[in-house]
Chains A and B, each alone.
Chain A
């Protein structure tokens, strides 16, 4: 495994070193002493396996398309924001907006996340081993969010076609979020997806949360009256 030591390097130097190693074909990389630095491994569009030994700051792995990233510590805001594909695993906790607006890929936080995890998700999968905070899954458009622990207020507020599976308790569902029946396909999906990361789906009594679809359109009588309503 190639090593990069973050101490005494600027963020630009660390990211430049990562890109250089990856383009040389060195795709197993260990990054030491990240010390909660921001913006590490952002915008990487080639496959690579990167391990951060320690905690990272904001946007780690953001805007990526391909890498597998492990964080052996905690992460700040916007973990893996906007990724198209790839896998990001955080061993401890993550801050606000974890996996915000992702379009694909898988993001796992084994500890807790704070507010707005999965906000504006457009695809992909998020797994949280612990609990989630305020407005988790806000405006989720597509994709799946699996929460093994408890959820705070406004869970799944303003959902589109995203699905939330909740293993624990919820303080309050968000606007237009409703509990739906899980089916055998859901069970298979949960079993397989969670097993890949060492979790046993059978230990949880998952509830599925989807959109009630009442907020998808303005109330209107018919197109005619609505069209002239200027």
Chain B
């Protein structure tokens, strides 16, 4: 017989803690990182690959060529970007991240032959100098927006929102709005920066057609234009991005991370990346854009396995954010006393918003930042990108693909009923598809 008193599943530890914290705060709670949901959501873990056995012939895993080159933006741009691998570093702001982190990411990506992306607050000169290919975000806030940086970029990412907190704007709390960050963003130092949710000069997809044209005109048609959105009404939103003339659409699922967000948005907005990539591909097929407008998926991509599954489901490339930071040292068991002082521990830390990052990644404190020497950190990023690439190639070769982009949904099966319904893949052990997939090809109102 257990001595422990019974506990309610409704009024459990985290709920009681949450209510009592709000009773002190008088507002919503804010934190960083990614999902901390207790109930699991459908994910790439619900799928498995079917490599070759008798019906197909695999490629030699360690020897035969498996191409990973990825071209993005050929729909309209005269200078599409060409990455060596289908994994890229997503937009994260200098402000949310430290200077060393931003430079390490740019340098690490370059060594792996891929791109990195600016973020809210504009472009760091060191980022441009250290990146092989740099994607320039144009966000609702327009903090630090500079036409010269736009012209020096390799692609433009028109950001509508992100997976962590779709429908809302950026957030950077006062302790991280240092003098330097404030100056770059034209804000008073120390304010709790809550960015606008909407762009200042366009509202709605019909206006977006004109905004995309403006960006093309300003760059004389050279640069690919990405439209980045948090995963909400993905089918409709991707069709609109196509109609508005984007070169590339970026969909960021609910697992997407952030330096700071209201907790309620992180947990209860957006749809899982698994569902988002399926909806996005179905939308592309619906408008006849599959193969013409590229699709990048983001949000909780943890490994080459997730990337391979996303590519098989229709993505042309994936962005990593949180995974790249973890490669940098996020949540590494170092400086244990500092984790403790924050009230957390390695593998549990989600305190990016506090400016006290024990490993110097999401802080503006120069002393903490010293814990992240750039060259070592860049090397870890490059190693992780290489590891992801090898994982993708291994799965591709086992499925008889000489090019990772030839991975197809039909190379996988679903392990659960829900994932079968979401992806349109047969449930393992059956030939049965329970829904989803091709059903999205018609209008949602059928």
Q: Using a CB–CB distance below 8 Å, which chain A residues touch chain B?
A: 11-12, 15-16, 19, 38-39, 42-43, 45, 57-59, 62-65, 77-78, 81-82, 84, 96-97, 100-101, 103, 116, 119-120, 122-123, 139, 141-142, 160-161, 216-221, 223, 225-230
Contacts and interface: CB of A to CB of B under 8 A. Distances in A.
A230 B351 contact: yes
A96 B202 CA distance: 9
Interface string B135-148: 00000011101111
A77 B175 CA distance: 36
B5 interface: no
B332 interface: no
Interface of B: 21, 24-27, 29-31, 141-143, 145-148, 150-151, 173-175, 185-188, 190-192, 196, 200-203, 207, 210-211, 213-214, 217-221, 263, 342-343, 350-351, 354, 356
Contact of B192 (A59, A78, A217): A217
A122 B186 contact: yes
A2 B418 CA distance: 66
Contacts of B220: 12, 15-16, 19
Nearest to B143: A122
Given A77-B202, A120-B142, A139 B196 contact: yes
Contact of A218 (B27, B217, B263): B27
B210 A141 contact: no
21 contacts: A11-B213, A11-B217, A12-B220, A12-B221, A43-B219, A62-B201, A62-B218, A64-B147, A77-B207, A78-B214, A82-B145, A96-B201, A96-B203, A119-B196, A122-B142, A122-B186, A139-B196, A218-B192, A223-B175, A227-B342, A230-B29
B27 A219 contact: yes
Given A216-B188, A219-B26, A227 B354 contact: yes
A43 B30 contact: no
B416 to A, nearest CB: 31
B213 A43 contact: no
A90 to B, nearest CB: 15
Nearest to A123: B186
Contacts of A218: 27, 173, 192
Nearest to B263: A230
Main SS of the interface on chain B?
A: loop
Contacts of A78: 200-202, 211, 214
Contacts, number: 138
B148 to A, nearest CB: 7
Contacts of A141: 185-187
A63 B201 CA distance: 12
A164 to B, nearest CB: 16
A116 B145 contact: no
Contacts of B27: 218-219
Contacts of A229: 21, 24-25, 29-30
Nearest to B31: A230
B214 A42 contact: yes
B186 A216 contact: no
A211 B29 CA distance: 26
Nearest to B140: A120
A101 B111 CA distance: 35
A82 B147 contact: yes
Nearest to A225: B24
A45 B217 contact: no
A15 B150 CA distance: 17
A12 B148 contact: no
A92 B403 CA distance: 58
A45 B26 CA distance: 48
A116 to B, nearest CB: 7
A64 to B, nearest CB: 7
Contact of A81 (B146, B174, B190, B200): B200
